[in-house]
């Protein structure tokens, strides 16, 4: 199979991707660990570590949002919006193949936008809970005496936690499916920065943007 290779994801975007991914995984581990510990010093320390990692995530997330404003084309905000393609999917009730375009796939873009919304919500509620329940973080002085008002942030944070786990499972499942079904190395794109495509749609879209690198690899 002849594949077209294109450099899509730059170094900054890849670093921010793994920054966010590793932070989220660490938050899942520490959150589950602390939630199942008995009350005491170790539990309090684990929640403290959880909060610190949450602030690290926030820095990476803000960096990604900034890069979406000033970065290259495939990192920009507009690379997540496919109004014409979304309308086509709704009308035809047929998804656009993952192999048809370089950059974000129209269906995947919807899930990424949802993830960013979740991360924004989780960072906000996480900062509030750190302040209310542990007296830490930038809002500690404002929220420390409002423990009874933390029920809603806690509920939202907990539900968002499980939605993010669901996204991770779906994301990994989609990568495995496309690797096996289409025999195209998709999973490596956030390591090497290269995407591989065989569909003419991807070539046409990239030509329109002026970003095609005429490199073919035979697999």
pLDDT digits (tens, 9 = 90+) for 7-44: 999 999 999 999 999 999 999 999 999 999 998 999 99
Report all structural domains of the chain as residue ranges with CATH numbers, in order of start.
14-184 (1.20.950.20)
> Tokens for 114?
């949802």
Residue that is written with structure tokens 């939630």 in the block: 35
Residue pair 46/37 in contact (Cβ under 8 Å)? The answer is yes
pLDDT in tens, 67-114: 999 999 989 999 999 999 999 999 998 888 777 778 888 988 999 999
CA distance 124 to 44: 20
What does the DSSP assignment read for 171-186? HHHHHHHHHHHH----
Over 70: is that where the pLDDT of 48 sits?
yes
pTM for this model (two decimals): 0.82
Residue pair 28/161 in contact (Cβ under 8 Å)? The answer is yes
Residue pair 189/8 in contact (Cβ under 8 Å)? The answer is yes
Least confident of 110-114, 126-130, 151-155, 211-215: 211-215
List Cβ neighbours of 25 (8 Å cut-off, separation of 6 or more): none
> Tokens for 108?
């995947």
* Residue 108 CB-density burial (10 A; 0-12 exposed, 13-18 middle, 19+ buried): middle
Over 50: is that where the pLDDT of 1 sits?
yes
């Amino acid at each position: 199979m002849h594949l077209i290779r294109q450099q899509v994801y730059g170094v900054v975007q890849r670093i921010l991707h793994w920054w966010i991914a590793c932070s989220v995984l660490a938050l899942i581990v520490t959150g589950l660990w602390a939630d199942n510990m008995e009350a005491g010093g170790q539990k309090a320390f684990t929640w403290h570590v959880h909060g610190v990692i949450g602030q690290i995530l926030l820095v990476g997330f803000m960096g990604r949002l900034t890069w979406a404003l000033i970065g290259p084309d495939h990192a920009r905000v507009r690379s997540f919006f496919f109004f014409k393609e979304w309308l086509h999917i709704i009308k035809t009730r047929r998804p656009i193949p993952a192999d048809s375009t370089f950059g974000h796939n129209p269906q995947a873009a919807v899930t990424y936008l949802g993830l960013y919304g979740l991360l924004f919500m989780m960072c906000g509620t996480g900062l509030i809970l750190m302040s209310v329940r542990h007296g830490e973080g930038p809002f500690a002085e404002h929220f420390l005496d409002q423990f009874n008002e933390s029920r809603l942030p806690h509920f939202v944070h907990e539900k968002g936690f499980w939605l993010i786990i669901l996204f991770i499972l779906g994301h990994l499942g989609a990568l495995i499916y496309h690797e096996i079904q289409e025999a195209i190395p998709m999973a490596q794109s956030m390591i090497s920065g290269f995407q591989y495509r065989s569909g003419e749609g991807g070539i046409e879209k990239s030509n329109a943007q002026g970003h095609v690198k005429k490199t073919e690899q035979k697999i």
